[in-house]
Amino acid sequence: MSKRYIGIDIGGTAVKIGYVTAEGELLATDSKRVDFDHYQTPIIVTVKNAVDQFLALEHITLAELSGFGISATGQIDTKEGIVSGTAGHIANWIQTPIAQIFKDSYHLPVSVVNDADCALMGECWLGAARGYRDVVMVTIGTGIGGGILTEGRLLTGVRGIAGELGHFPIRADGELCSCGNRGCYEKYASTTALVNMVRDRADELVPDISADHIDGQLIFNRVSQGDTALRSVVSEWITSITLGLVGLIHIFNPQLVLIGGGVSQQE
């Protein structure tokens, strides 16, 4: 039988879990919100609980598994499997020793890599980037992540944290970001940015909805139903997305630009 693994994608909104073969066949999946109580419960606790429930529900024993592959939001120290930075919008996340927690719990090999880098390599292996050697991957969700493939190799940089596209500034006098910088791309082009744009004008744009209940899915649903006021806000947001994409195209001259994350499914 082919080796089998648990793949885990930890984002700022949800954790997605997959039971997969070494050839990439997906055998079972599940997902859980991680922001259900505004991160009062540490994400790693929610993730561990979700994994335990998934293993029990699917009747998967540790003896069947060859390891865990984990993609995680933020700057990831891949050697130590620790969240090293740029996830300040998520409480109780920076410095989380993801790999050690999973090794101690399950006694199996664990690999932890930045989520956007994982998305890029997955697309190169089995998806839309097969056969390409120069690719820019942008993931748009709670924040913005990125992965860069140049001449067939993942661009990692001297500290292994290259490709943090959400934190290059597009406005010198822009909003203060959780990373400490101003005008970061994700402050204007993430799903969080879109939601905040609508919440700031909630009384005008969605007077029938409490600000706390506004999310990306609601916005996209209403736009698809013909809400012209929200469509205008989404158009402004898309302009910010394209501003960053144009800059990346000029810098990296890729064969292909991929957009992933929850927003690619209008979530």
Output the domain CATH number for residue 13: 3.30.420.40
Same structural domain, 157 and 134: yes
Give the residue numbers spanning the domain of 158.
128-265
Q: What count of residues does the chain have?
A: 267
| The residue to which tokens 């690619």 are assigned | 264
CA distance 267 to 262: 5
Q: Looking at the structure, do residues 98 and 191 belong to the same domain, yes or no?
A: no
Regarding whether 15 and 50 lie in a shared domain, the answer is yes
Point out the domain boundary residue: 83, 113, 143: 113
Residue 84 lies in a domain: yes
Is 123 among the domain residues? no
Looking at the structure, tell me whether residues 181 and 222 fall in a common domain. Answer: yes
Task: Looking at the structure, tell me whether residues 199 and 87 fall in a common domain.
Answer: no
Amino acid at 151: E
Residues 154 and 233 in one domain: yes
**Which amino acid is it at 219?**
I
> Tell me, what's the pLDDT at 267?
55
Residue 147, in any domain of the structure: yes
Q: What would you report as the CA-atom Rg of the chain, rounded to the nearest whole angstrom? A: 19
Whether 44 is in a domain gets the answer: yes
Which one of 56, 84, 113 terminates a domain?
113
My answer on whether 103 and 215 are in the same domain is no
Same domain, 109 and 195: no
Residues 133 and 29 in one domain: no
Give dist(CA 21, CA 66) in Å, integer: 10
Whether residue 118 lies inside any domain: the answer is: no
- Look at residue 257 and tell me if it is in a domain: yes
Residue 229 lies in a domain: yes
Counting the structural domains of the chain, the total is 2
Query: Is residue 261 domain-shared with residue 138, that is, in the same domain?
Result: yes
Question: Does residue 245 sit in the same domain as residue 143?
Answer: yes
pLDDT of residue 265: 66
Among the three residues 79, 113, 147, which one is the final residue of a domain in this structure? 113
The per-residue pLDDT for 88 is: 64
Would residue 119 count as lying in a domain?
no
Residue by residue, pLDDT tens for the chain (267 residues) are 789 999 999 998 899 999 999 999 999 999 999 999 989 999 999 999 999 999 999 999 999 999 999 999 989 998 899 999 876 678 889 999 999 999 999 999 999 999 999 999 999 999 999 999 999 999 998 889 999 999 999 998 887 788 889 999 999 899 999 888 999 999 999 999 999 999 999 999 999 999 989 999 999 999 999 999 999 999 999 999 999 999 999 999 999 999 998 777 665
Return the structure tokens found at 239: 């302009």
Task: Compute CA 60 distance to the chain's CA centroid, rounded to the nearest angstrom.
Answer: 26
Q: Are residues 242 and 136 in the same domain?
A: yes
